[in-house]
Structure 1
Amino acid sequence: MSEERPGRPSDVARAALAAARAAAAARPQPTRRRIAGPRRRWTGAGPSADDPQPLGRLVDSLVSDQDWTAHTRVGSVFGRWDALVGPDIAAHCRPQSLSEGELLVVAESTAWATQLRLLAPTILGRLRDGVGGDVVTRLRVVGPTAPSWKKGPRSVRGRGPRDTYG
């Protein structure tokens, strides 16, 4: 009788792996059944409110929780004026106040004030698309103000100084 001598450790591991594969192949495979109904939800770790969130999502949730949506829409008219009306128009006018849907725009000259009055429907359309339809409903355009000749508490009625420019 010959005594079997164990081989190298790698040969023993290979023989054990081959035996395990043969035993697994001989076993019948279970059939999977699909269960009708809602999909199974896994328990365990998942995203939660305590995880780091993008800043935009946090600001949006803060605005909606505090009901600041109307205030942010009004602020966006002033903050995004260049983007809303375009750089050409924004270079020659600026918004001054917004009350009860009426936006007061100050133009740099009377010629630009006239031009902006003609462009008012276009500007209102851009503001409606960019901010929302109920924020700005009317546009009032004014030109630059002339210097006041009234100095002090008393004044005289009339046309004011006439021969001051030469």
Structure 2
Amino acid sequence: MTHSGIPMAGADDDAPRALLNRMRRIAQANGHERIDAKRMAGIKRRKDARRKTEERPASADGAPRDPKPLGGVFDQLSKRYGWEAGLSAGRVVASWEKIVPPAIGLTCKAEGMDEKSLVVRCESASWVAQIKLHEKQLVGLLCKELGTGAVEAIRPVTANSVRRNIRS
């Protein structure tokens, strides 16, 4: 361009192209490859398709890649690997002291489950008698807190009785 505003033919016309070529050489020297228009169109098409799937609302039953609640995932795993009995037994044993009256919780400790019976180790024979006397009420409390069928019976044993194979 001249001072009068009239364009001149010459070196200034090639300045943008020279800069573009220089930037291409620098990019190539840095390990970047040049992408032709056809390849770029394919990349853009895939990117647009991916963007459309991301914007799509999740289906009612959930797409395979949708995030799932952790509780549901653990439930599926426990069913698949047969951990349900062990987990429910652990829940019952862990909740024993919180559910039963404090006097019973301090003197009788839940040790585990034997089928649907909760094994409780008591400090003395008198506490064994108390547990047997109030078994129905205690089973009701446990089932109310942990769900119906969690415990069907309580098997109290004294502190010095022999341990049998139980799940804890």
Between structure 1 and structure 2, the one with the greater Rg is 1
Please, what TM-score do these two structures have when normalized by structure 1? 0.49
Please, what TM-score do these two structures have when normalized by structure 2? 0.48
**Higher normalized helix content (fraction of residues):** 2
